[in-house]
Amino acid sequence: MAMMTLSGCQEPEPAPVPEVSLTLSTEAVSVQYSAQELKVTVTSDGEWGVYSKNTEWLTVSPSGGVAGTSDIKVKIAENETGDVRESELVFTTRS
């Protein structure tokens, strides 16, 4: 008589999550003191989001998109103080 016992307690490994590719039409801009509006083209193969980092004088819309090509509008308020201002737009991706 032969017996064989098989057991396993290891969880299967989750499938790898593919990375989302994101390309911007421009990576840096320099603007004057007057209020301005810029268009940036976003090309992605997955969902993405964008926000302005710690900045009240810069807004971006829409705040995200899906795979394909989309334009975002970046609005920069007038610099009434004359001080040098810097900001970052942060892009996030989700597959």
pLDDT in tens, 8-37: 566 677 767 678 899 999 999 898 899 999
| pLDDT tens-digit map of 38-85 | 999 999 999 999 999 878 899 999 999 999 999 999 999 999 999 999
Identify the CATH assignment for 22-94 out of 2.60.120.920, 2.60.40.10, 1.20.120.400, 2.10.109.10. Answer: 2.60.40.10
Look at strands 36-44 and 58-61 and give their pairing.
unpaired
Instruction: In whole angstroms, give the CA distance from residue 11 to residue 8.
Output: 9
Instruction: In whole angstroms, give the CA distance from residue 95 to residue 85.
Output: 33
The answer to pTM > 0.85 is: no
Amino acid at position 54, single letter: N
